Structure 1
Amino acid sequence: MKLKLLILGVILCAFSANAQDYFPKNNGVKMRHTNYTVFKNAKIHVDPKTVIENGMFSIKNGKIVTVGKSINVPANSIIIDLKGKEVYPSYIDLYSDFGIEKPKKAQGGGEPQYDAGREGYYWNDHIRPETDAVSHFNYDSKAAESFQKAGFGVVNTHMPDGIIRGTGMLVALTPDVSEGDRILDERSGQYLSFEKSVQSNQVYPTSIMGVMALIRQAYLDAKWYAGGNADNTDLALEALNENKNLTQIFVTDNLLNELRADKVGDEFGIQYVIVGSGNEYQRLDEVKASNATYIIPLKFPDAYDVEDPYMANYVSLEEMKEWNQAPANLKMLQEKGVPFTLTTHSINPEKDFRSNLIKAVEYGLPKDAALAALTTVPAQTIGKSGKIGVLKEGAWANFIITSGDYFDKETTLFENWVQGKRKILQSMDVTDITGDYNLSLNGKDYSLKISGEPIKPKVEVTMDDKKIGSKLTFENNWMNLLLSSPDTTKTEFLRLVADVPSKTDRISGKAILPDGKETSFTAVKTSPAIEKEKNEKDKKQDLHELVPVTYPNKAYGFKDLPAQQDLLFKNATVWTSEENPVLENTDVLVKDGKIAKIGKDLNAGRAKVIDATGKYLTAGIIDEHSHIAASSINEAGHNSSAEVQMEDVVDPTDIAIYRDLAGGVTTIQLLHGSANPIGGQSAILKLKWGKSAKEMTFEQAAPFIKFALGENVKQSNWGSHSRFPQTRMGVEQVFIDYFSRAKAYETEKKNNPNYRKDLEMETLVQILNGERFITSHSYVQSEINMLMKVAEQFGFRVNTFTHILEGYKVADKMKEHGAGASTFSDWWAYKYEVNDAIPYNASIMNEVGLTVAINSDDAEMSRRLNQEAAKSVKYGGMSESDAWKMVTINPAKLLHIDDYVGSIKEGKMADLVLWNANPLSVYAKPEKTMIEGVVYFDVERDQQLRERIRKERNELIGQMLEAKNSGLKTQPVMKKEKERVHCDLLGNIQ
């Protein structure tokens, strides 16, 4: 585009030079108008807080010159009388792809592409900060008109492609000017997203956590590059450094990703402007804490068609609540003090934007806040305060003229002026024919009522108190009225047409009767139109009562998060998971979130007493290998993804968390999957249902990482034959290669202060130095031996072999190495490499002296790990206490958190479960599950929640039925089943 503008300029200059031979110097083809245009008698919204009644303002050369109650009118001014009209600053949309050519999708895609496809740019094709909107821009007059009809005068546009997308441009929607004159800022901001570029088939990254890791690495590389440390030119990194001081706009598609984007920004001291989802109300405290300005799409979900009771069962409470609550999102953001702007993204600006905005106002968004979100806030966000979004001296003359309050459904938008250029949307020269009339036609009298806006009048005709079918059109002051015949036994029509004078209380014209004969009619006004106050009730007829937001905002969420309590459990059978495994008729005092005392006849003090007679109290179950509560499991783009973090993709809203609590589970290790030999960094979580992802993180836990062996990493079942490794011996070579690189990297780091920080290598160095521990997916004894030998070669040990279904074959070698085991209780023969699995595996390894845990690797199994532990009593004759240790203290030891959890011991965290029966029994059920003295699951509260869910569903279904019956648009119910998550799941979880 820059080249096009330069060529155009040269041509124009040449033309100008030659034109002097043919035209007088002062009489060119086109004269530029430099007079003032003055607008008077308008209600002027100078800014969201300042309104001038019957005010005046003048413009010249595309700018506001003067605004006030009364201004001096320069000579030769063009004067426009706006009596009865209102003027607002034109609106600003900070997120669009207006005028940008659609990126071309990369060809090919047969075999995976692992390397970048561009020379001279960053190693990953999805980092494209060098992209600039100007080079891809062509003014789209049709799209511009759609924006203009909604009241917009300026849009920020960009190329919506890639993770770091490059710079946007601020464009005025000015009609009939050159592209250069429209551009207010050709580098208005830098855009980022969680989406890869369609212009490349490069595989990495394949997950949200991979995207986050890639952004981190790009930032680190840009800083390193800026220090002059690179040997080669990298145009992408140069652009990234050049763009760093621009407004940074991060595009997201859901609330969790909004918070993830802010997390990355915080790590690098970058405050993103975040394109949100409209669901910010669900986590207002976290949204507020981000300190971000949000760009909110004004899109609300349609009600579901729930007339069929069977299909209604497939609509989740979460989906119903979103429909119910989303229109109040902006009101809640405003009340919380979160700065936000609005975007037309994902909706039709002309058809949907204004109606949705009015809906948000009806649900409580103050009008001045709505106006600020469209004017002053986006102007400030993009660094253009005082230049756009206001009607003040020196600002661009961008404004709309309306028939009244913009937020009134009946108001008409007449004109949209941008840079002083007029865009007529509806003629202001319209006769107001609204009112009540006596209509005389063919010897009969009718009552004629015309209401609504003059530009869009509505009609109602009655005769002898009976309603007559009617249809009215009114254009260019010509009225056409179609009436059904008063004789209801006939399908006949009367057609009336009249040229209406500009100011009159009497309308006369021609009428064509059903038999084709012509006559005349007269309509005499008896009273003016009734003011709009009468319609206030109708105005809010589509509103529904909001149900409360819960944490999380779905079934079994808390209206108020449970608080920490001091509790005294009396007369329980206590399974300690310590040296004295069973304590009969024992009291346990919980104080300040910790186990304060264990004994008999303890004094409760101010603690709440719980009678545990005949019940069992245990430490909370710990699942060493879990994949619940995550938005992504595998980063499969490379054979090593040590740089990715499962903490980045924690989903605190996963219902599996609540179900685990109902099964007595309090802590899990959220593991990366098994797509590659070196996987991602683990997240050790406490299942604090209703809390944020950050609050769920086990702060004291040691760092872990997932490794994997076997069929998955060599892609035996994935149909890919390109990525190394393809064999088990290749897997070994991967480990050797990467740890050799890590050692070399560590040497470089120590000796070179200007080393390039590599997040992947940093993680592997932590392993070499014993600062990060390995949990390795494993099956076959040969590979188990192999990984221990590799570890010993590089001077570290494998902390845990998980799955380890052939562990009974190599238990002695594992003990010598210092590895522990986390296994299934009785899974076998579900794929080739587990053909030798036996149900005695856990018992054998336990007898050899290994620390053995039973894990789930499965959301359904995780909530019944007590029963999985019990199977080793049957298979191998393990004692109840040893079996119970395999889901409590043993996994705590494997995770290096046994100083805090895993057993009932004074001073440890009060992560406890009260059972109604022996925990190893299939009949046992938790009655209370607590974490740090907070009861997150209570069987009695669970019954109350079930009743509340039933009532809320019934209420919301009723609201949706009412919405459909009132003519509102609905969406069909689609049966959805959540995917079962295991180690081999690829992609992101929806």
Structure 2
Amino acid sequence: MKMRLLTLALLWCGATLFAQDYFPENDGVKSKNDNYYAFTNAKIYVTPTQVIQNGTLLIQNGKVVQAGSSVSIPKNAVVENLDGKSIYPSFIDVYSKFGVEQPKRKPGGGRSPQYEAERDGFYWNDHIMPENAAIASFKYDDKSAKELRKAGFGVVNSHIHDGIARGTGVLIALNGEGTDANRILDDKSGQFFSLTKSVTKRQSYPTSLMGALALMRQFYKDADWYAQGNSDTKDRSIEALLENKGLVQFFEAKDKGHVLRADKIGDANGIQYVILGGGNEYERIAEIKATNAKLVIPVNFPKAYDVSNPYQAGYVSLADMRKWNQAPSNPKVLAENGVTFSLTPYSLKSPGAFKEMVLKAIQYGLPKSKALEALTTVPAQILGKGNSLGSLKPGAYANFLITSGDIFEKSTTLYENWVQGNKNVIEDKDIKDIRGIYDLAVQGKTYTLDISGKNDEPKVEVKQDTLKLTSKIAYNSNWLDLSITTKEKAEIYRMTAPVTAASDNLSGRLILPDGTESSFTAIKKSDFEEKKDQNKDALQAPKIMPVTYPNLGYGYAQKPKPENILFKNTTVWTSEDDGILENTDVLIKNGKIAKIGKDLSSGSAKVVDATGKHLTAGIIDEHSHIAALAVNEAGHNSTAEVKMEDVVDAEDIKIYRSLAGGVTSLQLLHGSANPIGGRSAIIKLKWGEEADGLIYDNSPKFIKFALGENVKQSNWQSFSRFPQTRMGVEQVFMNYFQRAKEYDAKKKAGQPYRYDEEMEVLAEILNGERFISCHSYVQSEINMMMKVAEKFGFRLNTFTHILEGYKVADKMAAHGAGAGTFSDWWAYKYEVNDAIPYNAAIMQKQGVTVAINSDDREMIRRLNQEAAKTVKYGGMTEQEAWKMVTINPAKLLHLDDRVGSIKEGKDADVVLWSGHPMSIYSKAEKTLIEGATYFDLEQDRQKRLAIKKERTELIDMMLKEKSGGGKMKGPKQSVKKNFTCETL
């Protein structure tokens, strides 16, 4: 009766609370209910760090009035004794889709090319939609709300998960008894961004990660220009961005690297984003911490792989095995490093799995207080609602959980989730626990009755001696319904009984198989006991494998550091006028080549006996596509605004393999999807560093251009993007450089101008500040490109591929262009039909600086042998051949003052070979970059053994997980995409 009165009172309260106070009252006599509700004798978590034992929580009109150990309870209060129970603030999810209609991909058709937007009066790119408002498509979803409340959530921050600029969000209290008038707490709860374009828009640009980043940069620049009143037309997208710039700015990254990329965009525009992470931040925690960003962390930890089949187990990479082992420790690592973060069920199939994931994070070391902060006070702080949400301080919304005990214990029951003072029953806290073992007496026979399972959803097992009978049970509102079916005659006995607090035994009405009535009794013999986990190891956090740099096979426990090293008595290939020096010493000191000579003193330097071995400068690959997350931005015919530096992949295993082939530097080039491609990244292969750590400091500026079949899309069957012919390609260059010339003139004249990153880059070419590497094959196009350049007063730096270079070598030399070419590739597509293996030697003899490059993930590992081919095809000397992979590419990249040869004062980027560096039998024994050893042949052998040992250990852990009943997934091979010039 008490519960019924309380419920009635709350409904009455709700009816008055949730009507607008200025609505007319024409349907009867009404009065406002100002009753208080007092919850006494509870353990109250006012905040994660302010806990009251045996306290009282007092609420009124959906708000907290007071929480304390000595609260004065008003006379008009409904009092509920919560002796032995706990009260927590309800959880908050800041990154939700709740109630907001999500766009669906349109059927049929491909993407529209170039600038063809579907909207008028908005930003030119359809994937930029800051004008979208989640409130406009919000509809309260009671079913989803119940699932979220059951998981402990009281408030969610929802938005449209579509597009790069996604518009504003809506903050919702999960109050099923209210209306939108009161449960919508904020109809502009933040502004949202991502790196993923819309599924509903057909505009093709951007087609890549680097395009998305460039689009964001330009969008912010355009917004600044617009804000100064420079536009003659209205742009509703930019106006929405500017109007909402004071809101919390959220960015969906979903990966540790993207967290850093997003933060860079924010830093460039004076914005500190709240960033949705990927759960792998522990791998680069120092860099993540340095962003000072608040993170939203999903807890969708990976399942173990079923590695019981030893052959299938071989498919699973060590990196993926480690991810299963290490990912649950991510929240702990963030907490230990002082990173502010909230937790979200984002990416979970159901909120019902959320508690299990949070408990796993706690099992892996996340303190419970930090877990509670990440679900209450931190999300409230992120949303700027610290006074009204996330705590039980006076004035806050009465959003709280009533539990049987510690909310972060598996056995704890969540009874009620109150939202804005409205009660939502999850499990009946007043229901008596009837679980246990009974002697059941029915018609003169005694059975063993075993009731187990959950208190409100019990399971039953009935036995006659050792014979198990078919049985069913239902338990509701302290009424028990039970049925058993006998084995002999398949007769059904039905029983019902009230459950009272006065007795642990059960007795009630019995309906016999023939329909007559009788009675039954069940005498309790013992209480229910939770079954202990048979796999005790499952209750403990498994051994967490140490993170390496990068965090995959062949990573380093500690990043390599420069050493002072003296290579003694070796054959030195200087790639300088000194040629090849026999029986010579080379001293490496402070990352530089300090001395070259005979009988050098080692001092404190480490001595390496290199007798019989050869020391060379590190190989430089002028044209490569390894270590990239994307290679082509194909949405436009000019993409000078994109940067390969944005998409450097420091975790590409091909970096390590290239080091094993003696490569120390490379130019990471954009692909050949468009005449004017993206800007290059020139990197050192510092395996273990993060992406920015690979890029040359004060790097020369380069960009990729392209000619031929690819840019006119001969092989892609695309007929909607200009150009479609080689004549059109020439006109693209003429048009863009004319525009850049006019743009630069306006800028230099001091006139107002709209900052255009694409034009800025092309103007750098006109001003001799940026160099061009041009993808090329056919002599007619090579001639055309040089004429266009000369018309606009600049020179082509490098023609790459250039397999018809031998036909125009004299003109190239006169123009001042260099060449990066293959040693002996030919006839792999139509425009390569005239290629010959003598190409490199012929160009070199005409005075062209020639480099042999790879453009291939495999060939980069044996560029030493590719250089040797020019000795056979063209009769080049060994020294000149070797220069084609060392000092010549350094010259083409304008780095020859720093690398490319063994010369005092240059960077100590050197390779120690076991024999002649161009022999197929020689191996790189040591590869150094700036005096640090990034590849060592003996260490490589040790790494292989360590990998084998670690895999065995992780497989054992997974097998134990399976035997303990853990959730598994099938073995899967993770294959990283390999890029070429033509990859889209």
What's the TM-score once normalised by structure 2's chain length? 0.93
SS at match of 1:826: coil
Aligned counterpart, 1:702: 700
Residue matched to 1:569: 567
Residue of structure 1 equivalent to 2:507: 508
SS at match of 2:416: strand
Correspondence for 2:615: 617
Confirm or deny: 8 A CA contact 1:701 1:895 kept in the other structure. Answer: no
Q: CA deviation at 1:470?
A: 8.2
Offset from partner CA, 1:830-867 (integer Å, 9 cap, x none) = 00111110000111111112111000001111111111
Query: SS of 1:980's equivalent?
Result: coil
Structure 2: how far apart are the matches of 1:14 and 1:351?
37
Asked if 1:417 is matched to 2:393, the reply is no
- 1:529-678 aligned at under 5 Å gives the runs 540-541=538-539, 543-678=541-676
Residue 199 of structure 1, CA deviation = 2.8
One-letter amino acid matched to 1:43: K
Distance 1:914 1:484, change over 3 A: farther
Aligned residue number for residue 250 of structure 2? 249
Measured in 2, the distance between the counterparts of 1:324 and 1:495 equals 50
Note the C-alpha offset of 1:129: 0.8
Rate the CA distance shift 1:504–1:57 in 2: closer, same or farther, 3 A: same
Unmatched segments (≥5 aa) in structure 2:
1-18
* 2:88 is equivalent to residue 55 of structure 1: no
Corresponding residue number in structure 2 for 1:433 = 434
Aligned to 1:45: 45
Deviation of the 1:642 alpha carbon: 0.3
* Whole-angstrom distance in 2 between the partners of 1:348 and 1:810: 61
Residue identity opposite 2:34 in structure 1:
T
CA contact (8 A) 2:637 2:676 kept: yes
CA distance in 1, matches of 2:171, 2:974: 41
Q: Which amino acid aligns with 2:507?
A: S
- For the pair 1:134 / 2:135, whether they are aligned, the reply is yes
Deviation at 1:475, TM superposition (A): 3.1
SS of residue in 2 equivalent to 1:632: coil
For 1:937 and 1:493, the matched residues in 2 are separated by: 77
SS in 2 for 1:230: coil
In 2: Cα distance, 1:195 partner to 1:813 partner = 45
Q: Give the SS at the match of 2:808.
A: helix
SS in 2 for 1:710: coil
State yes or no: 1:815 paired with 2:809: no
- Find the aligned partners of 1:364 and 1:420 in 2 and give their Cα distance: 34
Conserved? CA contact 2:150–2:352, under 8 Å: no
Superposed CA deviations along residues 896-939 of structure 1, whole A, max 9, x for unmatched, are 11111111111111111111111101111111111111111111
Structure 1 residues 444, 567: closer, same or farther in 2, change over 3 A?
farther
- 1:9 aligns with none
| Residue 379 of structure 2 corresponds to residue 381 of structure 1 | no
Mapped to 1, the partners of 2:253 and 2:200 lie a distance apart of: 20
Change (3 A) 1:447 1:609: farther
Instruction: Trace 1:39-438 onto structure 2 (pairs within 5 A).
Output: 39-103=39-103, 105-106=105-106, 109-110=109-110, 112-114=112-114, 115-434=116-435
Please tell me the residue identity of whatever aligns with 1:672. H
Letter in 2 for 1:649: V
Give the Å deviation of 1:542: 7.2
Q: 1:875 aligns with which of 873, 876, 900?
A: 873
The correspondence of residues 886-897 of structure 1 with structure 2, limited to 5 A, is 886-897=884-895
C-alpha distance in 1 between matches for 2:602 and 2:509: 94
- Deviates most, 408-417 or 813-822: 408-417
Judged with a 3 Å threshold, the aligned counterparts in structure 2 of structure 1 residues 180 and 491 are, in CA distance, closer, same or farther, namely same
Partner Cα separation in structure 2 for residue 196 and residue 957 of structure 1? 38
Partner Cα separation in structure 2 for residue 626 and residue 614 of structure 1: 32
Using the TM superposition, give the Cα deviation of residue 112 of structure 1 relative to its aligned residue in structure 2, in angstroms: 2.6
Could you tell me which amino acid in structure 2 is paired with residue 180 of structure 1?
A: A
Q: CA deviation at 1:305?
A: 2.1
Post-superposition Cα deviations, 1:49-82, rounded to whole Å, max 9, x if no partner, equal 1111111111111111111112111122111222
Is this contact kept in 1: 2:110–2:202, CA < 8 A?
Answer: no
Q: Percent identity?
A: 59
Tell me the alpha carbon deviations over residues 220-269 of structure 1, each in whole angstroms, 9 at most, x when there is no partner. 00011000011111111111111112111001232222221112112222
Residue 775 (structure 1) aligned to one of 749, 773, 776? 773
1:168-227 deviations in Å (ceiling 9; x for gaps) = 111111112221211111111100001112232111111110010000000000011000
Once the two structures are overlaid, the 10-residue window that deviates more, 506-515 or 370-379, is 506-515
Q: Secondary structure at the match of 1:770?
A: coil
The whole-number CA distance in structure 1 between the counterparts of 2:510 and 2:865 is 87
| 1:458 CA displacement | 6.4
Task: Find the counterpart in structure 2 of residue 693 from structure 1.
Answer: 691
Letter in 2 for 1:701: S
Counterparts in 2 of 1:468 and 1:553: CA distance versus 1, 3 Å: farther
Tell me the secondary structure at the aligned position of residue 417 of structure 2: strand
Give the secondary structure class of the aligned counterpart of 1:864: helix
Match of 1:947 among 945, 951, 964: 945
- Deviation of residue 635 (structure 1)? 0.5
Once the two structures are superposed, residues 943-976 of structure 1 have per-residue CA deviations (whole angstroms, 9 ceiling, x without a partner) of 1111111112122222222222322222223455
1:35: Cα distance to partner?
1.4
Question: CA contact under 8 A between 2:113 and 2:721: conserved in structure 1?
Answer: no
Give the Cα separation in 1 of the matches to 2:571 and 2:511.
Answer: 95
Q: RMSD value over aligned CA atoms?
A: 2.7
Shift in alpha-carbon separation, 1:571–1:428, aligned structure 2, 3 A: same
Deviations 1:698-749 (A, max 9, x none): 1132110000000000111111112111111111111110010001001111
Does structure 2 retain, via aligned residues, the 8 Å contact 1:566–1:606?
Answer: yes
Within the candidate set 674, 677, 680, 2:678 is matched to 680
Moved more, 642-651 or 475-484: 475-484
* Structure 1 residue 106 displacement after superposition: 4.8
1:625-644 CA-to-partner distances (Å, cap 9, x unmatched) read 00001010001111100000
Instruction: Provide closer, same or farther for how the CA distance between residues 497 and 769 of structure 1 changes in structure 2, counting only shifts above 3 A.
Output: same
Over 3 Å counting, the alpha-carbon distance change for 1:369 and 1:984 in structure 2 is same
Contact preservation (8 Å) 2:274, 2:294: yes
Preserved CA contact (<8 Å) 2:125 2:203:
yes
Residue pair 1:250, 1:274 contacting (<8 A) in 2 also: yes
Counterpart in 2 of 1:8?
Answer: none
Contact residue 87 and residue 402 of structure 1 kept, 8 A:
yes
CA distance in 2, matches of 1:37, 1:199: 49
CA distance in 1, matches of 2:975, 2:646: 25
1:511 positional shift: 7.2
Partner secondary structure for residue 859 of structure 1: coil
Q: What amino acid sits opposite 1:152 in the alignment?
A: F
Structure 2: which amino acid aligns with 1:507?
L
How far apart are the structure 2 equivalents of 1:389 and 1:50?
13
Taking the aligned partners of 1:86 and 1:78, their CA distance within structure 2 comes to: 18
User: Distance between the aligned counterparts of 1:111 and 1:379, measured in 2?
Assistant: 40
Question: Residue type matched to 1:389 in 2?
Answer: G
CA separation of 1:299 and 1:493: change in aligned 2, threshold 3 A? farther
Letter of the aligned partner of 2:501 in structure 1?
S
Q: 1:930 aligns with which of 928, 931, 938?
A: 928
Question: What CA deviation, in whole Å up to 9, does each residue of 1:584-638 have, x standing for no partner?
Answer: 1111111111111111111111111111111111111000000001010001111
Report the CA distance shift for 1:526/1:255 in structure 2 as closer, same or farther (over 3 A).
Answer: same
Q: In the alignment, which residue of structure 2 is the partner of 1:803?
A: 801
Query: Deviations along 1:150-169, whole A, 9 cap, x unmatched?
Result: 01011111111110111111
2:189 counterpart SS class: strand
In structure 1, the partner of 2:15 is none
In structure 1, the gaps of 5 or more residues are 1-11
Worse overlay, 706-715 or 57-66: 57-66
Q: CA deviation at 1:482?
A: 7.1
Return the alpha-carbon distance in structure 1 between the equivalents of residues 359 and 21 of structure 2: 52
* Kept in 1: contact 2:708–2:776 (CA 8 A): yes
